[in-house]
């Protein structure tokens, strides 16, 4: 696998933040029927995307210090900012269609509780990867469930960002995974898969109305999630050799020993 340095990611997020892909002069056009099917999920994801990221910053600070890579903390801070941009855009859209931004959602509360107690970078990384993977399917389904040009644009912008988020987190998971012994790797590989699939099921239960509106049934949804699992934490990915010898992974490896 090709591992990019933290400086690369800082640079990427800085540049991506300058690209404006949305045209807010477009008037939102959403039918009542569409609203009925997507509103609850839209509100829930808007809330989920607006987290301050305090706990992730705390875990990243601890981790960055341990691996002696201050730049990693900067990259994570910019990553959080990008998530907040998603929350802001979805919030702005809700304001435009005169629907409220919610303050509570059971899925969000559950995830926040888990985040509260989590200071471990590995747990953070697999949790974020899982949610990002579900997000890709969610925003594609949302895009397919509406004819509103502005909402479609918002989804496209998020989907572009999320693809890079997954690469960013997948590289970190690979680095952390490859610090482990063979036995520990074997256990962890199964634990990742189990967590990923269980979380996928929870996401389906919470948002099935929207997924169905986006023409996804359970079978197609879970197959897409399984495919994504293979790409981020499959055996061939986690056990793959690093592509560029001598780059950051070797240095990080030495720092962690
Ligand atoms: Fe996001
Ligand atoms: Fe993301």
Q: How far is the CA of 231 from the centre of ligand 1 (A)?
A: 19
Considering every ligand atom shown, identify the ligand nearest to the alpha carbon of residue 130 and give its number. Answer: 2
Flag whether pLDDT at 252 surpasses 60. no
Average pLDDT for the chain: 92
Give the integer Cα–Cα distance in Å for 127 and 225: 14
Q: Is residue 140 included in any domain, yes or no?
A: yes
- pLDDT single digits (tens) 129-175: 999 999 999 999 999 999 999 999 999 999 999 999 999 999 999 99
Q: How far is the CA of 86 from the centre of ligand 2 (A)?
A: 8
pLDDT level of residue 244 (50, 70, 90 thresholds): low
Considering every ligand atom shown, identify the ligand nearest to the alpha carbon of residue 138 and give its number. Answer: 1
Considering every ligand atom shown, identify the ligand nearest to the alpha carbon of residue 131 and give its number. Answer: 2
pLDDT level of residue 256 (50, 70, 90 thresholds): very low
Q: Which CATH number covers residue 175?
A: 1.20.1260
- Number of domains observed in the structure of the chain: 1
Q: How far is the CA of 182 from the centre of ligand 2 (A)?
A: 30
Q: How far is the CA of 128 from the centre of ligand 1 (A)?
A: 10
Q: Is residue 15 included in any domain, yes or no?
A: no
Q: Which residue carries 């023409």 as its tokens?
A: 215
Q: Give pLDDT, residue 66.
A: 95
Q: What is the average per-residue pLDDT within 71-95?
A: 97
Q: Which residue carries 């495919």 as its tokens?
A: 227
The model carries a pTM of 0.90
CA distances to 95, 119, 127 from 57, rounded to whole Å, are: 29, 9, 15
Q: Is residue 226 included in any domain, yes or no?
A: yes
Residue 248 or 111, more confident = 111
The domain in which residue 244 lies consists of 28-256
**Cβ(193)–Cβ(127) below 8 Å:** no
Q: Is residue 236 included in any domain, yes or no?
A: yes
Q: Give pLDDT, residue 106.
A: 78
- pLDDT single digits (tens) 6-17: 999 999 999 999
pLDDT level of residue 115 (50, 70, 90 thresholds): low
Q: Is residue 21 included in any domain, yes or no?
A: no
Q: Give pLDDT, residue 249.
A: 53
255 token code pair: 């720092």
Q: Give pLDDT, residue 255.
A: 46
Portion of the chain with pLDDT greater than 90, in percent: 83
Give the integer Cα–Cα distance in Å for 138 and 123: 22
Q: How far is the CA of 184 from the centre of ligand 1 (A)?
A: 31
Please list all protein residues whose beta carbon sits less than 5 angstroms from ligand 2, which is an ion.
132, 162, 165
Q: Is residue 22 included in any domain, yes or no?
A: no
Q: Is residue 2 included in any domain, yes or no?
A: no
Flag whether pLDDT at 44 surpasses 80. yes
Q: Is residue 32 included in any domain, yes or no?
A: yes
Q: How far is the CA of 244 from the centre of ligand 1 (A)?
A: 29
């Amino acid at each position: 696998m090709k591992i990019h340095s933290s400086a690369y990611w800082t640079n990427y997020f800085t540049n991506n933040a300058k690209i404006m892909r949305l045209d807010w002069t477009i008037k939102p056009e959403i039918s009542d029927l569409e609203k009925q099917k997507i509103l609850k999920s839209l509100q829930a994801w808007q809330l989920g995307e607006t987290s301050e990221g305090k706990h992730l910053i705390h875990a990243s600070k601890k981790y960055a210090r341990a691996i002696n890579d201050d730049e990693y903390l900067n990259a994570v801070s910019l990553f959080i900012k990008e998530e907040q941009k998603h929350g802001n855009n979805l919030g702005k859209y809700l304001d435009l269609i005169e629907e409220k931004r919610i303050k509570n959602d059971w899925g969000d509360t559950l995830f926040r509780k888990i985040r509260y107690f989590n200071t471990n970078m590995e747990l953070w990384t697999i949790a974020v990867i899982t949610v990002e993977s579900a997000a890709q399917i969610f925003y594609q389904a949302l895009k397919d469930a509406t004819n509103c040009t502005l909402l479609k644009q918002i989804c496209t912008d998020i989907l572009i960002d999320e693809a890079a988020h997954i690469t960013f987190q997948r590289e970190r998971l690979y680095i952390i995974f490859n610090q482990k012994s063979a036995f520990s790797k074997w256990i962890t590989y199964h634990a990742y898969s189990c967590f990923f699939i269980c979380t996928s099921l929870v996401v389906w239960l919470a948002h099935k109305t929207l997924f169905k509106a986006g023409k996804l049934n359970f079978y197609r949804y879970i197959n897409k999630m399984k495919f994504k699992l293979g790409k981020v934490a499959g055996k061939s990915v986690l056990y793959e050799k690093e592509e560029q010898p001598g780059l950051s992974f070797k240095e990080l490896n030495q720092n962690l020993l």
